Each structure stands twice: as structure tokens, then as C-alpha cells.
Amino acid sequence: MAFLYILNWTEEVKPRISAIVLCLLVPTTFCSVIAAALMYTSYLMANNEVPFPACKGYFSVLHQQYKFVVDGPGIIKKGYEQFKNGLFEIPRTFRFGQVILCQPELIEELRNTQSTLVSPEPWIDQLLQISHVMPGYFPAGMGWPKIAKTTPGLIRATVYKHLHRYMPSINQAIISQLQTLEFKDGECNVGCFDLAYSIVARSGSFALVGSRLSRNEEYLKAVKDHILGMIVTTRVQFLVPDCLKPYIGGLISRLATFRTSWDMHASRKIMLKHFDARAAEYHAEIFSRTGPSETNLDDSDSPVEIFQWLYESSVLRDRWTYSEVIGEMLLLQFAFIYTTSYGLYGALVELARQPEYIAPLREEIDLIFSKMGPTVPACDGMVLTDSFLKECQRLHPPSALSAHRVCVNDLKLSNGTTLKQGSHVAVPSGIIQRSSEHYANPDAFDGFRFVKRAAAGAKDTRLVDLSPNYLVFGMGAHACPGRWMASALMKLAFAHVLNRYDIVLPNSALIPLTGSLSFEEFYVPNFGLKIALRQR
């Protein structure tokens, strides 16, 4: 009887053991396959002549890939300290590694290399995962969209050349956003990034889609939710092998923002509703004239909406489809609004941390605005404010890397190193901007650093200037074309906040400006950081 009992018990236990073994075996096998795939692609795509920050052993490569995902700036700094007179490479998940040029001669060589050899366009395509996150907007298999090649020139021709036309409405949009703040007993506690983000979303939308939509709260909320949703979705999508994205990409994009307000798909539907309505108005305007005609950028005294010009080009000249126009508008919103918001966010935090700068900055703003008002010459004359904003950007860039390029073909550098076709190349701008070789006491905040450098005869000291030791806006022909508007917008917003409020950052020494994690080379703002605005 005892033997039969033991036999029955054994028969009952066997399925349990099998289930336990299966539960352990399946995830272990899955993880092993993923790890092997990561190793294989890393070795296959790595440039053999370029060193890694650590050795190229099995576990070391996996660790470097993990560290780059969760603390990209940290591993970039480690690599720069080792190879500051050369270059190095960081392995990435399921794609070419990130080659980082440290030597000044190599950086200058990259700046002067033609786009036919190293191009930023494939990098932008991969960064934003356009074919997966924005399917159907651009022609498939035809390279970088023609409309995206044209828009930078349009921005230079309108926003830069005719910036003065946009200033009154941008100024009013900033005032309107500040009027939405709710004060109790003269004080308003607000998330610092949310404040900067809301200001830029409203004022930046004026140049993109016009005054009416820049006052539409439903549209503005959708824009902000869509941009943050797109950031989260693209970063998660970036980690997935391209061969699996057609099958699980849609699911991943929805899971990435599950139970958040950053629902990219829902917010996009709202924006499309407003885009379609605005496009119908453009269409009516075009054909209500004596004959179909488009807006002349130079003859018009009013600021030209970017959306309007793109739409008119699609209707009258068949340069691109309406879907391409909408896709380009989504990309422009992402590029301009988020990066400008991050710059303004860092400046507001530093202003609260460094109250000794408030008095001289207010004095400059009061003096210039009383004479010139909120104009382009006034913004150009705000040299102290310009220096303060540039110092904030120097210490708090949105990314530890800039000047991204992808090798169109194998590229042989002047030091003899050959980079494989498809290799990602960039410059460690975040590290360079904190280097003692370029800046005295580089980790200390000096709001008037660039005013002093200009007085000493240094060149390229303005916020919008490009130089090898200040790369926030990129370098060369592919530098940010909207930096003049971004600069003017930040100065106007900064001036209004300074003149209206005293700014307090509770426990300022204890609260970091960035979140606890970065994502690859990109810094993440501390969404929980709040400032107190006290009415003057």
C-alpha cells in the first residue's frame, strides 16, 4: 500500500515538475536567443578598427549595450576620457554601433564631408522610426522624403529672413499662456517642464499653423501629448529588430504609452481633424482669388504659416501629396517644440537656482523693452540674457551627442580608420561643452560667461552661433535652421517670466534637472520638478 501511495504521488508530481521546468526553460531559452542575436549583430556591424569603451567580450558587449540604453551620457563620458585624441564605438541593440569622434581634426573633417558620403537623413529616419511610427505618410522605399529636404530651406527663407513678422503674435501667445496660470495668495506652483512646454507649444504653433489653432486648447493638448507619446514610442521601437516590427510594432507602440495621457494615436486623430479643417480653409482661399495662386513669401506683410506654404505647394505645384504635408508637420512639431522647451526648461531651473542673476537680467530687459518693445532688434540687444541662455544650453543640452550622420558608403577617415557603410557617426557635444580645454571652470555655472568671452575678443559667442566647442544646434550645412526663432522665443518667454514673477525652486540643491534615467544619448527632463511663481 505504501509503495502504491508513493507511486501515485510521483505520478502527480511529474506534471508539476514538468510545468516548472517548462516555465524556467522557455524564458531562459528566449533570453539566450536574444543575447546571442545581440552579440551576433554587434560583431557583424561593428567597425573592427574602432575600439569600444570596454573590451569586446561576450558579457562586456551586452553590458555596454544595456548601459547605453539606460545611461548613454555616462558611457559616452567614459569613452571620451579614454579616447579623447581619437574615436570610439558603443555597441547598440540590433543595429550599427554608435561611432563617436573625439579628436578635433576628425570633428572638423566630419563637418566638411559632403552629404553624399555621410548624411543625417538616415539617422533621423531611424531616430523617429518614421516607417513604423508614421506609416503611410511618406512614399516607401524612396529614401528621405523630398518634402523633408525642402523644409529647412523654407524655414530659413521665412522664419529667419522674416522673423520680425512673427514676433508680435509669438509675444502675445506667450502672454496668453502665462494668463492661464492659476494663482492662490499670489503664488502658483507649477511643473517647470510643463510650464516651458506649454509656452513653446502655444507660441511655436503660431508659426506652424497660425493664430487660431495656437489658441485652440484641444489642439495644443493634442500636440503636447503626441510629441511625448512619439518620443516614448520611437525609443522603445528603436530597440526592436526591424524584421519583427511589421508584426509587433503596432502592439509595442500602444503598450509604450499604455495608461498614460501620451496616447500618440488618439492625439494624432485630434490633430488630423484640425489639420483637415485648416487645409479646407487654405483651399478655399487659394481658389477664391482671381485665379489659383500661392502666397508670395516676400510680398506678404503677414507671417506665413509653414502648413499653408506646404499645402499650397502640394495643390498648385504637385510637389508632394497631402499625406506628406501632414507627415512633415508632425515632424516639425516634434523637432521644434520639444527641443526649444527643453532649453527654456533648463534656463528657468537655473534662474531659480541662481537668484543673483535676476537683478541684472531684469534691468537689461526693462531698458531694452522700454525702448524697442518685443522685437527682433530688442532680442538681439539682450546680450546678458543671450549669454545666460547659452550657458544653460551648454550645461544642459537635450542630448549628449550631436551632428549625427550615417555613412552612405564605406568612409575612410584621415587617420586611416575605415568606417563601414551604415555606421552611425556623431560628436560628443555634451562632454566637449564641459571640457576644460574649451572652458575655464567648465562644470561651474557662469551666466555671463559668453559676454566676458565676447569682451575678450572671442568669436561665436551668441546663442545661435555655431562653433566646435558649442554644438547644441549641430554644425555645418545641417545645423538647426530654426535656431533663430527658438532663440527669440526663449528670450521673450524668459523676459515675461522675469518681469512678472519671482521664481523659487524649493530644495533646489537637492532636485536634479534630469530624470533618474536617460535613454541612450538623450537626457530626460525631471517631470516632477516644480517651481513656485510669485506675482511681483
Task: Name the binding residues for heme.
Answer: 480
Give phi and psi for 343, each to the nearest 5.
-65, -45
Roughly how many angstroms between the first and final C-alpha of the chain, as a whole number?
A: 91
Task: Please answer whether residues 503 and 351 qualify as being in contact, where contact means their C-beta atoms are separated by less than 8 angstroms.
Answer: yes
CA angle 235, 236, 241 (to 5 degrees): 110
Sorted by sequence, the CB contacts under 8 Å of residue 393 that are 6+ apart come out as 343, 346, 463, 470, 472
Strand blocks (E) in 54-198: 87-92, 95-101, 118-119, 187-191
Work out the number of other CB atoms within 10 angstroms of the CB of residue 227.
22
Closest to 364 in 3D by CA, of 174, 485, 498, 502: 498
Of 379, 337, 370, nearest to 492 by C-alpha is 379
Which helix (H) or strand (E) covers residue 411, if one does? strand 411-412
Phi, psi at residue 70, to the nearest 5°? -95, -20
Strands of the 501-504 sheet, one edge to the other = 187-191, 530-535, 501-504
H/E stretch holding 404 reads: strand 402-407
Contact 526, 515 (CB under 8 A): yes
> Alpha-carbon Rg of the chain, whole angstroms?
26
Q: What's the full length of the chain, in residues? A: 536
How many CB atoms neighbour CB 392 within 10 A? 26
- Three cell numbers at 134? 508614421
Question: 3-state class of 501 per DSSP?
Answer: strand
- The grid coordinates listed for 176 are 496668453
Q: How far is 23 from 457, CA to CA, in rounded Å?
A: 69
Residues making up the binding site: 480
- Per DSSP, 470 falls in state B
Three-state DSSP class for 504?
strand
402-407 and 424-427 strand pairing: antiparallel
CA distance 173 to 176: 5
